[in-house]
Amino acid sequence: MKPTRLKDYLGHIRQAVEEACDFVSGMSREEFQNDLRTQKAVEMNLVVIGEAASRVMDHYAEFTQRHPELPWREMRGMRNRMAHGYFEINLDVVWSTVQTALPALLAQLDALPDDDA
């Protein structure tokens, strides 16, 4: 049953990455800064990504060790900042993350061997 759960966590990460990127697709930075709904939607997806990454780190350490190219600690760190520093969220960091880090993460997830999870 463990491998199925790992695939679930990786699927949650992938889905949250895709949703966050879709939410800002075609938006300018200024439009994002002025769109509270999109901000909250993206922030929630960053929390989901970090929570799933934390579960993988906690329960599938051997997988994270086999895939150090994935930013496990950064995903968890972003989640912690979103969840615990709510009133101090830096929208420039959120924007940069969704514009650069998330597409890179999606490419890294796509490069994982199908039989490894």
| Catalytic residue IDs | 79, 84
The DSSP annotation for 11-47 comes to: HHHHHHHHHHHHHHTT--HHHHHT-HHHHHHHHHHHH
- The residue to which tokens 């200024």 are assigned: 30
- C-alpha to C-alpha distance for 51 and 73, rounded to whole angstroms: 11
